[in-house]
Structure 1
Amino acid sequence: MKKAYSIFLVLMLAVGILAACGPDREEGAGGNEGSNADGAKPEKLVVWEDTDRSVALEPAVKAFEEEHGIKVEFKEYGMAEDMRNQIRLDGPAGKGPDVLTLPHDQIGMLAEEGTIQEISVEQSVLDTFTESSIQAQTYDGKLYGLPKATETPVFIYNKELMSEAPATMDEVYEFSKDFTDGKKFGFIALWDNFYHAYAVIGGMGGYVFGEKDGALQSDDLGINNEGAVAGAEYIQKWYKEGLFPKGVIGESGGSAQDGLFNEGKLASVQNGPWAFQGYMDAGIDIGATPMPKLPNGEPMTTFMGVKGWHVSAYTENKEWSTKLVEFLTNYDNAKIRFETTKEIPPVKELIEDPIIADDEYSNAVAVQSQYAIPMPNIPEMAEVWGPMATALQTLATNKAEPKEAMDEAAKTIQTNIETNHSK
């Protein structure tokens, strides 16, 4: 009896091996059904979207369902803290998403902790996006998502106070010298905040982390090199000469700046596309252009933020999740996103489309993005913001010289990196 049972098991094993060696299932209309390395085509995929952005996601999801026969459910969570905290809870419990959206500066941290995973797409897919936006989705030389929208600060001005946008910061400076009287101001930028100040520091030749073989190097700091110090000197000049009001410093600076602009007491600002609607709602006739060139003749190197679509490390459907990410970011769905949310997808063909090229505000962001760099997405970037805010605020209040302030910031950042990120 035992011998017969053993023969039966051997025969069953042989049948299994022959079946495994047989031809794949016939592909369906989608082109790759049945070839999913993760197993059979799933019945459902789950997507987590940013709050109030599902208006752009819904038509894309419907089209994907019709093309591939896979149900796609979506939920909205606040970006990025709410979503980040929620996937840490739901992912390990098997209740998380297959695909989620994140700001690119979260990628390094979430990749390191194993919350999102590397994806692989054809070069033809990568080529549809701007180079900088793909760079933003890359960490340690690996691709962790595809970009869905980009934003960066631009030059915004009140057309009643400034007839046309200056081409250079020298022109902005001269205008401000004539226009500013302590009650009204020609130009304000939140240059005590490193996010905004980097436009000057980077444009003058500074940098945060050096790069080698496509990976950022946390032991190569450039925030106190010669160019960075020159940028700091330029920033301090505006504060020293009283061209920026004293109240536009620290956490309340943004509100003070917007208040002056909305009251018609401020001719121009450096601010992001998130400010457009508020200024319009205040009745200001605004114009927008890329940032004027710096005194060294170089464009301002603003920080760029890129929102992307990512594949959860907890999904059981990596291949189909990746297909969904590709689908959500293609030209047609990127165009729908712009039309419904005014978010600007970094799809090269779409940027050249009249829908963006002929839109003054969106075009300003798209053009400035060509000079922008993605905020560093490695975990060590967390150690940069605090020391740089301290350095810039000492410059704004004239409590330190530029080189002294930048050297101290670099020293603190490096110490914190060595303490908190040693491997």
Structure 2
Amino acid sequence: MKKALSLLMVLMLVLGALAACGPNREEGAGNTDEKDNTADDAKKPEKLVIWEDEKKSAWLDEVGKKFTEETGIELEVKEVEMASKMKEQLRLDGPAGTGPDVLTLPHDQIGELALAGHIAELKVEQDVKDRFSESSILAESYDGKLYGLPKSTETPVFIYNKALMEEPPATMEELYEFSKENTSGDQYGFLALWDNYYFAHAVIGGMGGYVFAENDGALDPKDIGLNNDGAVKGTEYIQKWYKEGLFPKGIIGENGGSAMDGLFNEGKVASVMNGPWSFQGYKDAGIEIGVSALPPFENGEHMKTFMGVKGWHVSGYSKNKEWAQKFIEFVTEDENSKLRFEQTHEVPPNTALIDDPAIADNEGAKAVAEQSQYGVPMPNIPEMGTVWEPMATALQTVVTGKAEPQKALDEAVQQIQSNIEANHSN
């Protein structure tokens, strides 16, 4: 009897507890959310440290103020030279606890920094990725994972002297004919640094060559396409321009860029292939330039220029990764990206901005935006470091008549494979 009474009392207590919970379930759920919100607020930092490129941070005065108003988080902005100093400074300051929460990098540095844990993987919604061109998101990814959001893109384009060329040719074949008719003495119709693989890839890639094959968003360094039929055909096309004297010998090698710029600035060249970094120098020389995407080949295939992407990244050492990512998503919204372009003149890869008057009415920006649609991101895996020198050697031996394309490219690929095996094998 005593045992039965005890069991009855336990049962009544359990039922009472369940009854007490029932009417308050909704209120209880609300309390849980409130606790979660409180936890989020507790995680919210007082400030985020942002590293932007040299002489490029003024736009953050306005955009940063909006972010602070919305989140209550202050921003500490520091300018660091991006191309070389940014990653080295991160390696020192990150582990010491004095580094940034957010930094900006050229995309070809992502692979090595991601491997070392210096930058963090991002987890963003698809609608955030959809703001940008597919190629720019690919550039900000490594081994199938996203490590940054794009802020700007650059790629070589077609630049012409309006006093010597009325309008850009419709195809590369038309440009070739124009160049033959307008090359004499120290006057040239078109010049390009095609002994430099960065620029030569436009032709080689446009005809079917590639550096590393892409498989499911990841680059395969074991699959090299620099001596396939397309690469050989592209190199033969390049060889033709040098063989026929359409390019001077003085634009081969390390001094080729300054020699080409000098000729163009002197009004001795009707058109060149160069990047947006050259616009101001040409204008300062008194040249009225026109700018467009590079002409396609006669078969409709476009020149596949290498595209460089600058992006925003979260430091792997940041204690505020969640809020750092929210900052990156905020500053790359279309409106904020447009404001950055207006102040820095670096073209954002936000697809909604291509037809915006701020870019569409800017001839240089429009050309970069259009050509970027046909460009391919420079490979951002560490193995890319083994490619530049062998390809430069191959191209220079071809354009100086010391080797034929197939042989030169075969030797380059063999050297690249040996370098990868020696320096990057697991």
TM norm structure 2: 0.91
Q: 1:182 touches 1:245 (CA, 8 Å); kept in 2?
A: no
- Of residues 249, 253, 256, the one that matches 2:252 is 249
1:380 aligns with 2:389: no
> 1:56 Cα deviation (Å)?
2.4
Q: 1:62 to 1:186 in 2, by over 3 A?
A: same
1:163 aligns with 2:172: no
Cα RMSD for the two superposed structures: 1.6
1:127 aligns with 2:127: no
Equivalent in the alignment of 2:401: 398
* C-alpha distance in structure 2 between counterparts of 1:25 and 1:104, whole Å: 40
* C-alpha distance in structure 1 between counterparts of 2:253 and 2:80, whole Å: 28
- Of residues 36, 42, 47, the one that matches 1:44 is 47
Q: 1:24 touches 1:34 (CA, 8 Å); kept in 2?
A: no
SS of equivalent residue, structure 1 residue 91: helix
Count of aligned pairs between the two proteins = 398
TM norm structure 1: 0.92
Q: Give the alignment of 1:24-423 within 5 angstroms.
A: 24-25=33-34, 34-35=39-40, 40-423=43-426
Q: 1:151 touches 1:369 (CA, 8 Å); kept in 2?
A: yes
* C-alpha distance in structure 2 between counterparts of 1:182 and 1:389, whole Å: 27
* C-alpha distance in structure 2 between counterparts of 1:258 and 1:55, whole Å: 30
Query: Greater CA deviation, 192-201 or 73-82?
Result: 73-82
Equivalent in the alignment of 1:14: none
Equivalent in the alignment of 1:10: none
Q: 1:186 to 1:33 in 2, by over 3 A?
A: farther
Q: 1:24 touches 1:35 (CA, 8 Å); kept in 2?
A: no
* C-alpha distance in structure 2 between counterparts of 1:164 and 1:400, whole Å: 36
Q: 1:405 to 1:95 in 2, by over 3 A?
A: same
Deviations 1:138-196 (A, max 9, x none): 10010001000001110000000011110111111111111111311110000011110
> 1:58 Cα deviation (Å)?
2.5
* C-alpha distance in structure 1 between counterparts of 2:377 and 2:225, whole Å: 16
> Which structure has the bigger radius of gyration?
2
SS of equivalent residue, structure 2 residue 152: strand
* C-alpha distance in structure 2 between counterparts of 1:194 and 1:24, whole Å: 56
Equivalent in the alignment of 1:16: none
SS of equivalent residue, structure 1 residue 307: strand
Deviations 1:375-399 (A, max 9, x none): 0011100000110111111112111
Equivalent in the alignment of 1:23: 32
Q: 1:109 touches 1:378 (CA, 8 Å); kept in 2?
A: yes
* C-alpha distance in structure 1 between counterparts of 2:298 and 2:415, whole Å: 30
* C-alpha distance in structure 1 between counterparts of 2:194 and 2:310, whole Å: 24
Q: 1:49 touches 1:101 (CA, 8 Å); kept in 2?
A: yes
Structure in which a larger fraction of residues adopt helix: 2
* C-alpha distance in structure 1 between counterparts of 2:185 and 2:409, whole Å: 29
Deviations 1:201-232 (A, max 9, x none): 00000000001121100000000000000000
SS of equivalent residue, structure 1 residue 102: strand
Equivalent in the alignment of 2:10: none
Structure 1 residues without counterparts, runs of 5 or longer: 1-18
